[in-house]
Amino acid sequence: MRGGTRTALVALLLLWSLGPMLWQLYTSLRTPEALLAGAGGLAGGWTLANYGAVLGGDPPFWRYLLNSTVVGALSTLLTLALAIPCAYALSRRRGLLRLLVGGGLLAAAVFPYVLLFLALLQVARQLGLANSLLALCLPYAGLQLPLAVLLLQAAFAELPPELEESAVLEGFSLWQRLRWILLPLMGPAVVSTGLLVFLFSWNEFPIALTWISRSELLTLAPAMARIAGSSVYTVPYGAFAAATVLGSVPLLALLLLFQRQIVAGLTQGAIKG
């Protein structure tokens, strides 16, 4: 009975978690008439036309996926390149300065970036940062840098100091200690932090919508908003659902590829002794 109850609870949790994705998949495979008919139209009304409409758009949907991938990858690399040395320096500091810097980073990490939107927009106009994928990487990296530093700083603090002391006695430079000793041990934390930055860049909407006006340079989030509002008289539920499914496939593949590192990074430091 206990085993059956446990299985039922796991199945219920799985259904609850996958429910939105399954519903979007169902909607993407149905005609508008079948969606209006509800459960009574299950016998017919199945179609792949929604995927054809999305993939055959101008520009094609794969261009939006490519733009989001480029922006996410560059933002992640830039954030990690800045966060790793900052996190290392912060983890080696002691006393009041470390507390003040950590408190400031925490405040910046939880501050709603939407309140900075108008200021960022003014800066973008003055610097001429518009209609450029590279320009999106700068605010994305800046907005996610405080959280990345805090996460990596905690990971650096978990490493035994004897490792670095032994490397110093062996004549390793700071870069060599980071490259050959510390960072390999922090692989799960770096991967988890990088994925958080990538997901933010992939899903970010207000900045991408405002800074990019050319259709061929749109990232996924504003492109899907255009699909949802492409018709004045009807809501293209099927096409929007198809775009949602296609846009989720790269993220699911990425999470499955790095699932071990994600779990290890989330649990790093949870058990001591």
What pLDDT score does 195 carry?
92
Residue 39 has pLDDT above 70, yes or no: no
Q: Once rounded to an integer, what is the mean pLDDT over residues 157-177?
A: 83
Q: Do 86 and 118 share a structural domain?
A: yes
Q: Decide if pLDDT at 271 tops 60.
A: no
pLDDT of residue 273: 40
Under the banding of pLDDT at 50, 70 and 90, the label for residue 170 is confident
Quick: pLDDT tens for 243-270.
889 988 888 888 888 888 777 766 654 4
Tell me the pLDDT tens digit for each residue of 88-115.
Answer: 989 888 778 888 988 999 999 989 888 8
**d(C-alpha 244, C-alpha 265), whole Å:** 28
Q: How far apart are CA 80 and CA 86, in angstroms?
A: 10
Tally of domains in the chain: 2
Q: Say whether both 104 and 154 belong to one domain.
A: yes
pLDDT band of residue 272 (cuts 50, 70, 90) is very low
Q: DSSP 3-state assignment of 92?
A: coil
pLDDT over 90 at 165, yes or no: no
- Is the pLDDT confidence value at 69 over 90? yes
pLDDT digits (tens, 9 = 90+) for 128-141: 777 888 889 999 99
42 pLDDT band, cuts 50/70/90, is low
If asked whether residues 109 and 160 sit together in one domain, one would say: yes
CB atoms within 10 A of CB 177: 18
Cα-trace Rg, the chain? 23
Which among 84, 196, 222 has a CA at the least distance from the CA of 140?
196
CATH code, domain carrying 207: 1.10.3720.10
Is 215 a member of any domain? yes
DSSP character for 216? Answer: G
Give burial (CB, 10 Å; 0-12/13-18/19+) of 165.
exposed
Which structural domain, as residue segments, surrounds residue 145?
60-226
pLDDT at residue 66 is higher than 90: yes
- What distance, in Å, lies between the first and last C-alpha atoms of the chain? 36
Domain annotation covers residue 197: yes
